[in-house]
Amino acid sequence: MSEKEKMLSGALYYANDSELIKERIECKILCSNFNKTDFLQLDERKILLKKILGKVGKNFHIEQTFQCDYGYNIEIGDNFYSNHNLLILDCAKVTFGDNVLVGPNCSFYTPEHPFDVKTRNAALEYAREIKVGSNVWFGGNVTVLSGVNIGDNSIIGAGSVVVKDVPKNTVVAGNPARVIKILDEN
């Protein structure tokens, strides 16, 4: 099994594998080109994002700057909007449903490092998927950690650190984020 296959399966993998380094460099070049593109060149920016991302829905917009590791592990649904400074470490799949709004300076981290120092120092890590439902709104400066599922119609308060699953129809906030309000499903 290649290191890439291990990474995608959620197993421990060697992060400094030459194939993975090559793919990260290629993605970072595309992200750099996107970030340097004049903000009025919307068509060129969309073309670059379609090259970077694994799947895009209809009517999406990502403000500059945008950074990710591989790109092909990111899927966005219809009507996706992200404000400035979106960071997605996509060693595992990161999926966004439809009608998702992401505030400025938000980060989504799929990789995790082992607690055992010898394993960690050997550049071994693993990654867990992040799933975001539809109709979700992230306030500014939110961080979502690996393995988290965020339910439909949820709101993530500004500055939150999301370390566990978020039920649908809730408002969560804080560090760590916790439910502060249940929303009416209607």
Residue numbers annotated as active site: 113
Burial class for 127, CB neighbours closer than 10 Å (0-12, 13-18, 19+): buried
Tokens (6 digits) for 117: 């120092």
* C-alpha span between 1 and 9 (Å, rounded): 10
Interacting residues of 116 by C-beta distance below 8 A, sequence separation 6+: none
**Which of 117, 145, 120, 121 has its CA nearest to residue 132?**
145
Burial class for 162, CB neighbours closer than 10 Å (0-12, 13-18, 19+): buried
**What kind and span of H or E run contains 33?**
helix 18-36
